[in-house]
Amino acid sequence: MSSPNWAGYAAHRPGMQFTDVRGAWVQPSVSCPTGGTFSSFWIGLDGYASNYVEQVGTGADCTSTNQPAHYAWYELYPAPRVRIAMVIRPGDHVEAAVESVSAGTTLTLRNLNTGRTFSTVRSGASGPLTSAEWIAEAPSACSGTSCNVLPLANFGFVPFSTCSADASGTSGTITSPIWSADVITMVHSNGSVLAQPSTVSADGASFTVSVH
């Protein structure tokens, strides 16, 4: 399927609740010939077929010409995105997990290069837990109930690995036969491809998203 702001994979199956999603990626560098472009890399629950999403990830933005900014964040949409106090640099290997627990949602991010780990349990109702995702995104700027997709930063490519999920007590990789896995291509309003995921590796756990 196509999306104006997502590229990657979403796992889903009617009647299944996804309670855990995990994945890793290498933080890409961004080319910043101009400012005002943005990109995010994350794993999460919900969002594919619901108006909620519980997610944790990193960002790579061009704040101005030749001024890239790298950072970590989590978000329990529709609540605003929250910055994580963790240094993120191009080339850093990041591991992430989102888990729905009785107390709320556990969000974990580890930078294997620096050894830093962030983990928090956020209380409150989660979404319906109908999907799990591994995504490169063109983020949106929101004002009230109106959101606009921001220009995508040229991050070249981002490799995802060790991708897995738990649903209704069963674990599997992206391409597990237990559920369906939809490939999502980011497409501009004029129909041109902005970012494209590769096919999933033979073990079902790795793929790469490349900017076009």
- Residue boundaries of the structural domains of the chain: 2-211
DSSP string, 59-76: EEEEEETTEEEEEEEEEE
Please tell me the predicted confidence (pLDDT) of residue 142.
Answer: 81
Q: Give, in order, the Cα–Cα distances in Å from 54 to each of 21, 31, 113, 127.
A: 10, 29, 25, 8
Fold of domain 2-211: Jelly Rolls (2.60.120)
Tracing tokens 């997709």 back to the chain, one arrives at 149
Nearest to 174 by CA among 139, 128, 126, 208: 208
**Using one digit for the tens of pLDDT, what is the confidence trace for 80-137?**
899 999 999 999 999 999 999 988 999 999 999 999 999 999 987 678 999 999 999 9
User: Per-residue pLDDT tens for 163-196?
Assistant: 999 999 999 999 999 999 999 999 998 999 999 9
> Model-level pTM?
0.96
Structure tokens at 25: 């990626």
